[in-house]
Structure 1
Amino acid sequence: MTIEQSPAPGDVADVYDGIGQIYGSTWGPNYHYGYWDDDDDQSSIEVATDRLTDMMISGLAAQPGQRVLDVGCGCGHPALRLARTAGVHVVGISVSHVQVQQANEAAAEAGLADQATFQFTDAMDMSFPDASFDAAWAFESMWHMPDRGRVLSEIARVLRPGGRLAIADVIERGPVSPEGREVLDHICANYAVKSLGTIDEYRESLAANGFVDVEIRDITDNCARTTALMADGVETQFDKLAELVGQEQAASLIDYMRRAAAAPESGYLILTATKG
């Protein structure tokens, strides 16, 4: 089954080069969801986001010296943590020239330029040779892909047999109420996403592309705090956001972030699989 999405890569870059820079300035270098053990867990954003990154690193189980593909690398913070922790060589790809530059600068500053490099590449049409990577991950990037099935096919092509794949992604959980649909539609309209996939769609698409030993965890309850905390942060930068999108749109974006945090239809998964 093909999990289809649109926009064009340029639309994704526009989001992250625009409002994404404001969001990132309020959130910190690890611009991803966080993971909290339970409602009593008072871990900081920095701890919670690094915890989720470490879960991805553990699931990937990459070995020192291996070559890992980071699909949708963003500003590179998780990739650098992976390179440092696992001793691997990471190649990150993005459709944002701004993020590629930031990621390469961060790698140089961290003394990891020989282990982590980042380049402008479309995940649906990669120039890498077949079987050229030992592992791959996609950390909250798949929901931006025009055709996620095609991306999984490309990942399967560049992975060697037995190569590991890890994905963290925002998903849709049903049944969807009218209020929930409004929130999900807002996410799609404002963050360069056409639709959110489901766990069942992921299972079918992974199988269709030759992945086996698939393990999927719905960790929505552990990650749901993220959006509300991000709304708090973005609200402190309201004037900058309003300069970019207008006051009415800025207020709407923050309001919908809070609504998304409370919507049970907005979910989050983490998965691992192996190329058969």
Structure 2
Amino acid sequence: MAAEKSGVDNVANFYEGLGQVLNIAWGENLHYGYWEDDADDSTVGTATARLTDLLIDLLRPASGDTVLDIGCGVGKPALQLVAARRTRVTGITISDVEVARAAENAAAAGHRDLATFRNADVTDLPFEDDAFDAAWAVESLLHVPDRGRALAETARVLRPGGRLVIADTVQRPPLDAGSRAVLDAFRAAYHVSPYATADEYRDLLAANGFTGIDVRDISDKVVRTGRVMADAVAARRDELARIEGPEPVDQYIDLMRRAAASPGIGYLVIAATLGPASGA
């Protein structure tokens, strides 16, 4: 248990340190952006909101549904979901700093009654069985060492027929030496667990009672994120280095540029339903 707690603390420290710096450079929608093609000149704000909209469409929540946001960050995707579908969202994160900032963002958006946030670990959820109509995990499961346990807990708190949507970076085997080096560097620097593959996610979801598993590789739509994010951080490098120090900022710029050029790093969005397949 001590090792697990240490890992949780390391991830929290990352999001309370460099993660907060990245919120300044990238914006508080701290996930990948979605660009239609090379001619798409959308801003980061538009591209990240577009990815959130894709996830909302896959989640298909009805007005009033209860949704668990696993790894909610400072609450921007949750608040976009609330505004679009009038759902009731409970966001969890292992960072008290993010909990406080997410609550501030909900209040500023006028959604404090529909979006609440708390410190909780997805591998030991503090909720009753069948508590939620739907759940999503936006670029959060990559930090979880035991994804099977996380998905088992998610299944426990979802009602039968509940939807789960996952967005995550993954490895796309076979990996060349350059891709392996980038993945290893990300794992060491940002407390990432071994990267999953598409097949591993399919197997884990099926093993925990999910059916109708829809796995979409949208790597070509989000690959620009690495380069654009590196450029955004580089443009404010001196300012950000005064906050976090030059070494982590420079390392982040380098890794994001290398990731953008790596064919072994992919991006999936996955949707699944808890319980028997339709018509079964």
CA distance in 2 between counterparts of 1:194 and 1:6 reads 14
Q: In structure 2, give the amino acid aligned to 1:221.
A: D
Unaligned runs of 5+ in 1: none
The two structures, once aligned, show a CA RMSD in angstroms of: 1.5
Is residue 6–residue 192 contact of structure 1 (8 Å, CA) maintained in 2? no
Q: In structure 1, give the amino acid aligned to 2:25.
A: T
User: Bigger CA drift: 229-238 or 263-272?
Assistant: 229-238
Q: In structure 2, give the amino acid aligned to 1:84.
A: A
DSSP-derived class of the 2:69 partner: strand
The equivalent of 2:132 in structure 1 is 133
Is residue 6–residue 146 contact of structure 1 (8 Å, CA) maintained in 2? no
The equivalent of 1:90 in structure 2 is 89
Is residue 67–residue 135 contact of structure 1 (8 Å, CA) maintained in 2? yes
CA distance in 1 between counterparts of 2:238 and 2:18 reads 12
The equivalent of 1:117 in structure 2 is 116
Q: In structure 2, give the amino acid aligned to 1:204.
A: D
Is residue 214–residue 272 contact of structure 1 (8 Å, CA) maintained in 2? yes
Is residue 233–residue 249 contact of structure 2 (8 Å, CA) maintained in 1? no
Q: CA separation of 1:143/1:105 partners in 2, compared to 1, >3 Å: closer, same or farther?
A: same
Q: How far did 1:236 drift? A: 2.4
Q: TM-score, normalised by structure 1?
A: 0.95
Tell me the percent identity.
Answer: 50
The equivalent of 2:263 in structure 1 is 264
CA distance in 1 between counterparts of 2:24 and 2:244 reads 17
The equivalent of 1:188 in structure 2 is 187
Unaligned runs of 5+ in 2: 276-280
Is residue 32–residue 51 contact of structure 2 (8 Å, CA) maintained in 1? yes
Q: How far did 1:157 drift? A: 0.2
Q: How far did 1:132 drift? A: 0.7
CA distance in 2 between counterparts of 1:114 and 1:54 reads 22
Q: In structure 2, give the amino acid aligned to 1:152.
A: L
The equivalent of 1:57 in structure 2 is 56
Q: Tell me which of the two structures has the higher relative contact order, counting C-alpha pairs closer than 8 angstroms and 6 or more residues apart.
A: 1
CA distance in 2 between counterparts of 1:102 and 1:166 reads 24
CA distance in 2 between counterparts of 1:133 and 1:177 reads 41
CA distance in 1 between counterparts of 2:181 and 2:227 reads 17
The equivalent of 2:278 in structure 1 is none
Instruction: Give the alignment of 1:146-165 within 5 angstroms.
Output: 146-165=145-164
Q: In structure 2, give the amino acid aligned to 1:44.
A: T
CA distance in 1 between counterparts of 2:263 and 2:8 reads 29
DSSP-derived class of the 1:175 partner: coil
Moved over 6 A (4+): none
Q: How far did 1:248 drift? A: 4.4
The equivalent of 2:223 in structure 1 is 224
CA distance in 2 between counterparts of 1:108 and 1:6 reads 31
1:106 pairs with 2:98: no
The equivalent of 1:171 in structure 2 is 170
Q: CA separation of 1:245/1:99 partners in 2, compared to 1, >3 Å: closer, same or farther?
A: closer
